[in-house]
Amino acid sequence: MSLIVQKYGGTSVGSIERIKAVAERVAGTRKRGEQVAVVVSAMAGETNRLLKLATELSDSPNQRESDCLVATGEQVTSALLALRLEALGCPAVSFLGFQLRIATDSNHGRARIKSIESERARNELNKGRVVVVAGFQGVDSAGDITTLGRGASDLTAVALAAALKADACEIYTDVDGVYTADPNICPKARKLARISYDEMLEMAGLGAKVLQIRSVELAQRYGVPLVVRSSFNETEGTLVGKEDKSMEDVLVSGVTLDQNQSKVTIVGVEDAPGLAARIFGPIADAGIVVDMIIQNASEYGHTDMTFTVGRDDLRRALEVIERIAKEISASGVRHEDQVAKVSIVGLGMRTHAGVAARMFSVLAAERINIQMISTSEIKVSVVVDSKYGELAMRTLHDAFLENGAGAVRA
Amino acid sequence: MSLIVQKYGGTSVGSIERIKAVAERVAGTRKRGEQVAVVVSAMAGETNRLLKLATELSDSPNQRESDCLVATGEQVTSALLALRLEALGCPAVSFLGFQLRIATDSNHGRARIKSIESERARNELNKGRVVVVAGFQGVDSAGDITTLGRGASDLTAVALAAALKADACEIYTDVDGVYTADPNICPKARKLARISYDEMLEMAGLGAKVLQIRSVELAQRYGVPLVVRSSFNETEGTLVGKEDKSMEDVLVSGVTLDQNQSKVTIVGVEDAPGLAARIFGPIADAGIVVDMIIQNASEYGHTDMTFTVGRDDLRRALEVIERIAKEISASGVRHEDQVAKVSIVGLGMRTHAGVAARMFSVLAAERINIQMISTSEIKVSVVVDSKYGELAMRTLHDAFLENGAGAVRA
């Protein structure tokens, strides 16, 4: 008998009718003889509704109380799903974070899971019950409720699958699986049957929203096979797993687009040792995540330093940078909030040269100017003017992925 | 420094604006130098909203899951109130049932509190924080969430006051205090300044809805002074406490009306030892609470047996009784679902004779027929036709309570 962890996101449990459909699916899996543990998100819109109540009462709501508040969203869904399963004659029991001792640190709003006591869940599974777990929440050493950050019900599911040594972790969502590109932008995007953890990590980091990046990391660390599939149909999804030889035959697995980028340049900085630390130390202290960094070569002892940050962080980043620019006597600060990052990802890049060059020439043929470039072992990212973002994505998808164009063998 | 437990009901925290007002009041109490622990109900309508979701998914929702579901109502309110207090600069921390170890038995939906670990709350109070507690909920020995029954946030408040040895437990609600009768029915009803636990218990048991009966019992057992007052104004409320000599001077403290009654009669039963047990044993086994019981005297070896049950239980009671009637060869079963119970309550009855007789003559003067009579040391109840219920209440209020008429000294 195999053990499956299934995770259903907010849209999958967004109404009474959808909860009924999820219960049918779970009961069906159970009936086929599998042991099933289910992790659920809050009903779509519920977390925002709760946070709105909080912000009506406080400009900066206390984080401990905020966590206690929003954790009710998943509590409601898990109880509803369990009682629906019971009504269908499928024995079920729900658990909250504190009940499974999903132990986290005390960083409210973005806590990290330290351990899960899987014994109680295991006992219930062995009694033939479906175990329903409220996602997104844990409990710290003081017994306070914590939450794991937006989209973190995926993380609960993967951590639970790891703790239970489950055979697979199925992530049910409102799309069929992982696509070669966002189908809303690239009509020709194809669903991938398989993708490696490394590629999925790059794609998640680059703006593909289907899986939360921390949950892919965790799945990779514990070797949990992830399946991304739709809760609205029976289509087979995408398996995210360990790479195998055949995967390297594919040059490019996907193209991603992140329109939520902005760019900051400090102009005319004296090029001296310790400069980067002087600039990026305070940015990190402010809790701002910097993505790409470019330092132009300098001939005359002065340089320009350019980096990208998420658009939401731009204002705060500028406040820090304006101050530092004065301290280090830079000649000025420029910024650009209408930029996009377009990336291609694929294991095949490790073994095949020339992928980046081909990417640049494809973009040049469309007269799209490249502002910044960043590469890793299995991805190439470029920053372009925001208005060319979608065009760049479609063009790269056509070039690398259309009609199997991306496969080296083709 | 005294310690006050304040409890705010669903209408008092029924909107963002009202939660703000409650926070102001709590912060004001704290500012005057009192230690404050607050118990909150779910926002008005929320418990019903959640239960409706459950009944849409199941005809008889699993009780354990139902408890987990509805407990979120109080969780939301307690977090919102705590974060509002923090926003006002009044340090506060919220606790759920499991966090304060409000230990209960496992009777989901109507669990009984066994103990409260008050140490964590006490520590926070000593640090100057307001402690906000989610009412209505506890946790059983398995770590499952339980709820204490409708209106049981009062019970949480009293139990917390007892555990903390609080100086008073203030119950804030949408009325000014305990009235001599329901002001919606008796325009001349007056607010009582004081009332004894025993009188309050009778009144709560007889249909006065201002306080939940179990919380009054608990307050009496632990000697917790209860104050019932409005959260919408600063009017002094009603103190429910130990009786003192002066209270016995008042013949009648209040008149109550319970319109939710029905009456069942088993006709022509052979009058033999064990008859009552034969009839009421199965009724009790079915979980039906019987209120008044009358057995008519019999001359010919046969008797009629009449009892009242809540109207909601009538159908189930009849099922049981029809079956028993056959077994004991009764000649028939009659029932009446349109009856009301009207009662007068007062400590003075203990020491003054003739109160019941006066009650009967007052009703006779209005030509209201009395169908059943039941008395205790400090109350007299009569069952009348439902359509005369309000008239009976007003008439009795006029006779015993108008212009101090109820006071023996008057």
Domain ranges, ordered by start, for chain A: 3-174, 255-404
CA–CA–CA angle B139, B143, B148 (5° rounding): 20
Report CB contact under 8 Å: A82, B62. yes
Query: Where are the extended beta strands (E) located within A216-253?
Result: 226-230, 238-241
pTM exceeding the 0.80 threshold for the entire prediction:
yes
pLDDT in the model for residue B220: 96
Report CB contact under 8 Å: B78, A86. no
Q: Is the pLDDT of residue B80 over 50?
A: yes
Phi, psi (degrees; rounded to nearest 5) at A199: -65, -45
> From the centroid of its chain, how far is CA A352?
27
Q: What is the pLDDT of residues B127-180, one digit of tens each?
A: 999 999 999 999 999 999 999 998 899 999 999 999 999 999 999 988 899 999
Closest to B64 (Cα-Cα) out of A35, A100, A92? A92
Q: Is the pLDDT of residue A155 over 70?
A: yes
Q: Is the pLDDT of residue A18 over 80?
A: yes
H helical segments located in A211-331? 213-222, 275-285, 314-327
Q: Is the pLDDT of residue B407 over 50?
A: no
Closest to A170 (Cα-Cα) out of A82, A39, A30, A12? A39
Q: Is the pLDDT of residue B198 over 60?
A: yes
- CB of B96 less than 8 A from some CB of A: yes
* Edge-to-edge order in the sheet of strand A130-134: A92-95, A130-134, A35-40, A3-8, A168-173, A226-230, A238-241, A194-196
Q: Which residues contact A80 (CB under 8 A, 6 or more apart)?
A: A13, A19, B53, B54, B57, B65, B69
Q: What is the pLDDT of residues B353-366, one digit of tens each?
A: 788 889 999 999 99
Which chain B residues are closer than 8 Å to A130 by Cβ? none
Report CB contact under 8 Å: B83, A66. yes
Report CB contact under 8 Å: B84, A57. yes
- CB of B93 less than 8 A from some CB of A: yes
- Residues A250, A253: Cα–Cα separation, whole Å: 7
Count Cβ atoms below 10 Å from residue A221 Cβ, excluding itself.
Answer: 11
Q: At what angle do helices A119-126 and A153-164 cross, to 10 degrees?
A: 70
Report CB contact under 8 Å: A96, B68. yes
> From the centroid of its chain, how far is CA B41?
15
Q: Is the pLDDT of residue A148 over 60?
A: yes
Q: What is the pLDDT of residues A197-247, one digit of tens each?
A: 999 999 888 777 788 888 999 999 999 999 999 988 989 999 999 988 777
Q: What is the pLDDT of residues B118-136, one digit of tens each?
A: 999 999 999 999 999 999 9
Q: At what angle do helices B389-401 and B355-365 cross, to 10 degrees?
A: 130
Chain A's closest residue to B65, CA to CA, is: A79
- Residues A170, A97: Cα–Cα separation, whole Å: 20
**What dotted CATH number matches B255-404?**
3.30.2130.10
Q: What is the pLDDT of residues A101-110, one digit of tens each?
A: 999 999 999 9
Minimal C-alpha gap between A104 and chain B (Å): 16
CA A211 to each of CA A217, A224, B65, B182: distance values in angstroms, whole numbers, following the listed order:
11, 14, 29, 58
What average pLDDT does the structure give for chain B?
91
pLDDT in the model for residue B204: 84
What average pLDDT does the structure give for chain A?
91
CA B378 to each of CA A134, A272, B162, B227: distance values in angstroms, whole numbers, following the listed order:
51, 93, 26, 22
Q: What is the pLDDT of residues A312-335, one digit of tens each?
A: 999 999 999 999 999 998 999 999
Q: Is the pLDDT of residue A289 over 90?
A: no
- Residues A6, B235: Cα–Cα separation, whole Å: 55
Asked, colleague to colleague, whether A3-174 and A255-404 share their fold, the answer is no
Q: Which residues contact A65 (CB under 8 A, 6 or more apart)?
A: A54, B79, B80, B82, B83, B86, B94
Contact A19, A183 (CB under 8 A): no
Q: Which residues pair with A339 in a beta bridge?
A: A261, A385
Mean pLDDT of A129-150: 96
- CB of B71 less than 8 A from some CB of A: yes
Q: Which residues pair with B258 in a beta bridge?
A: B341
- The pLDDT confidence band at residue B299, using thresholds 50, 70 and 90, is low
Tell me chain B's radius of gyration from C-alpha atoms. 23
DSSP per residue over A177-207, as a string? Answer: S-BSS-TTT-TT--B-SEEEHHHHHHHHHTT
Chain A's closest residue to B24, CA to CA, is: A57
- Residues A208, A254: Cα–Cα separation, whole Å: 10
Burial of A82 (0-12, 13-18, 19+ CB in 10 A): buried
Report CB contact under 8 Å: B80, A72. no
- Residues A302, A307: Cα–Cα separation, whole Å: 17
pLDDT in the model for residue A297: 62
Which chain B residues are closer than 8 Å to A61 by Cβ? 83, 87
Q: Is the pLDDT of residue A301 over 80?
A: no
Minimal C-alpha gap between B213 and chain A (Å): 29
Phi, psi (degrees; rounded to nearest 5) at B234: -100, 10
Mean pLDDT of A265-290: 86
pLDDT in the model for residue A247: 76
- CB of A99 less than 8 A from some CB of B: yes
Q: Which CATH architecture has domain B3-174?
A: 3-Layer(aba) Sandwich (3.40)
Which range, of A41-50, A214-223, A351-360, B8-17, averages the lowest pLDDT?
A351-360
Task: Specify the residue for token string 């009358």.
Answer: B294
Which chain B residues are closer than 8 Å to A14 by Cβ? none
Chain length of chain B: 410
The pLDDT > 90 percentage for chain B reads 73
Which range, of A295-304, A372-381, B369-378, averages the lowest pLDDT?
A295-304
Which chain A residues are closer than 8 Å to B87 by Cβ? 57-62
Contact A270, A329 (CB under 8 A): yes
Which range, of A120-124, B184-188, B299-303, averages the lowest pLDDT?
B299-303
Structure ipTM: 0.81
Chain B's closest residue to A90, CA to CA, is: B62
- The pLDDT confidence band at residue B21, using thresholds 50, 70 and 90, is very high
Which chain B residues are closer than 8 Å to A86 by Cβ? 58, 62, 65
pLDDT in the model for residue A349: 86
Q: Which element (helix H / strand E) includes A70?
A: helix A63-87
